[in-house]
Structure 1
Amino acid sequence: MSPAASPEDLREWISQHLDPFDSELPATAARSDFDLNPEMRVPEGETVLRPAAVLVPLVERPEGLSVLLTRRSDSLRSHSGQVAFPGGRLDPGETAPQAALREAEEEIGLDRSKVSLVGLSTPYRTGTGFLVTPVVGFVRPDLVLTPNPDEVADIFETPFGFLMDPANYERRFYDMPDGQRRHFYAMSWENQLIWGATAGMLRALYDRLYGAAMA
């Protein structure tokens, strides 16, 4: 289905392509930072991945769907200044949907009553040892957001159609201190650079919905 379809039609179609909330996929089924970097090695001694979740908020605007994203605070110790979905690690006894909604409330003040969760996208393994579950939810447009200044520097929306267009994905790289070259996907929207794990999760959602791997 075209990303330019009505939000109502897209909601039903996207929901049909997601995993149910009780889905338990093994880590081998996940996408990861290692997909574009097969020479990267799993850190020695890493046997258990730490569970985390993000909310993939699809805002149902009259003009079409948009994806709500954040830019992390520059004062954070890790991934500072990077574009991300609201999310974080799971608390003990917490499910991925519960964690995604909690983190969205804590980070950007998103009222969970405005969110209709519909399913899970492809899990993503990060090079830092997390297994992230993307929880997809549709968000009513009458939302009022308040970013937590300790965690979030900016909140913005990107058209769903832009993020589901493979022509907008670039394959970039940077050289790590140990001399290895790490490749990653990136997309530029206005003055924001969407890259790394966030771009990887969006790529996985594109492949899941449209069934075509990007070169």
Structure 2
Amino acid sequence: MAITRKATAVLTAGAGVLALTACGASAGGGGAAPSASAAAPTGPGGGIDVRVHADRLTTPTPRAGAGATPAPGARAAACTAPGPLITASDVDAAMGLRALTVTLTNCGTSPLTVRGYPDLRVLDAAGDALRVTVHHGITVTTGLTDPPPATLTLRHGDRAVAILAWRNTVTDATVTATTGAAFAVTPPGGFGPQVVQETVDVGNTGRLDTTSWHRPG
């Protein structure tokens, strides 16, 4: 299971830019969230040594390196191994709303067919899947473009992106707030899941929205 690094990206909203202050994943919503790297053992590359224990996300796969250059709507990633590469931007946060861009880059020599929405799980610091509902479509804000699902063919070096959005809302003191330390995305084509170390603080909403895969820009 690969663990990728992150780089800042600009999230596009229609023809404009989503004006979220880049405060990190712990901004707003009642103070800083615990650091994922502090809560979990480190792996060979310095990130979380995550093991996913739910359903088919149980088989570790080799870690993929992820060099990055900021780009509008997504980020470019340096291919270090054949196959798909999952990377993500840093979180943009403002007034309890969080959003980030996930990028799928085809580093293989064969075309990769991508359909619909990301196959995604939110993980705790131990690598276990949390009870977070991944909702297809953006409902937490009207400030993000939410394209209909489509079938994309990615040739070598081509990218598809999806935007994740959620609110760090705590409205019920009797319900424990949920904070993920990472999330796992399983690329299409029979490849294993790849893990991105990122705080996903959904409060007690228990919900994460995602757009479909679409072309950057």
Where on the TM-score scale, by shorter chain, does this alignment land: which range? under 0.3
Q: Which protein is richer in helix relative to its size? A: 1
Give the TM-score taking structure 2 as reference length.
Answer: 0.28
